[in-house]
Structure 1
Amino acid sequence: HEKVDFAYQRKKYEYNIDDLRKENTEAMVQLEFAQTTLRQWAKLIQELQHKVDICETDRREAIDGRRELQEQNQQNSKKALQEEDRATKLLQEKASVADELKEVRAELDKARKIAKKLQDDLDFAMRRQTSSLSVMSRQQSTTDTSEWLKYNQHLSLDDKVRALADRLSDFERMVRCPVCKKAESRRDAALRVCGHTFCRECIERDVNSRRRKCPVCNEKFNQGDVLELYLS
């Protein structure tokens, strides 16, 4: 009856994990779209700011030109009026571009808020997935230990001690960092992008060296993709 209950629970967790992974995938797609939109808005703002700067420069040149013409000769009044008209139009154009720039900045602020919410949702989903995996792992370990004790109950005390020592060695290998493989290292960090786990020291070494690729699958990651992992 315990095996049936565990199988049911495990199947349930697997469904939950699949749902979480789908949520993660959707959130990452939306986040990538939001980030692309942010880059586009930023580029547009830069272009509009450049236009504003050009308009301001042209306007000042036009005003300076008008002043010089007035000082030189009143006969050039026609040209001065033309320059004044040009300066007025440039000022109007500058005001129009400034209004457009203000609207774009407002849209950019909205896009940033959306991107932040998507990032928060993705972080929350990843924490839920890590928590579910941890619970399932603990239940699996408890069931395996119970089965192991039943299977080895006929062994002598020495054989049981040796068998238990072998099992502890297996557990040590499971929680040891697969990169440095140090006896004292533990898998206490995970990568959001691929789910592989390592010790914090190995991950920080990759981050500081700017290599920033998973040592197992070479998937690229950012510093924000490093998650803390607790084995309890």
Structure 2
Amino acid sequence: MADAAWQHPLPPWSTMPDVHRGARMRRHDLVWIEASTPPAQLQVAAPWRPALQAWLLQRRPLVVGRQPEPAGERLRLGFTLPGRGPRSRVEVHAPRAAITRHTPAPPLSDIQTHAPVAWQAAIAALLAAFAAQGTQLRAYGSLVNQAYSGEACLREDSDLDLLIDCRDRAETLASLALLQAHAAAPRLDGELRLAGGAVAWRELARVLGGGPQGELLVRSDTAVQRMGVAAWLAT
């Protein structure tokens, strides 16, 4: 992996606006928990408890996962330990009251400089293409982890994981076309999200290639289900 263009991790008070603590928690959102939270309030597998405490002391965010339904006062969160080796993902359950800050997944433009130098031109072109159609690109995965930890997380085979919130069918299909046009170096992965839930954009492209009657695996903030592509695009 070529050297990244970053030097320091992003602070928790970066340019993203804070979201009210009582707001809906969406997959890929980021949350911060005070390191002083009593350990008994944080449910994590025993071998990972020291890693969690170190993570919180460094004021690093946790990622919101799919939540149980009905929603309760405990949230399903997680983080991935930095490094370029095998991924070590840690699941944490925490009370909503322990959250001190909550933001959406960061805009790609906010963390662009934390990507490898070799990616910079491609990311700039991608951002320009989506800005021209009025669509914001957000990021999740290893690039976000690298940006907020200040440690190497992207490997030679890493993808750029994108999250794109679309207002309607037309914006979804236009975004899909742009992703297909810019999908090579770096390899783009990620999800297109409508009100009905999120789908992997590469799966959407494959299913649409077989006709409008195909089905998609749709991930909402609380469930996973199969849905016809036409029905999903109409949500």
TM-score category by the smaller chain? Answer: under 0.3
- Return the TM-score normalized by structure 2: 0.25
Relative contact order higher in (CA < 8 Å, ≥ 6 apart): 2
Larger Rg: 1
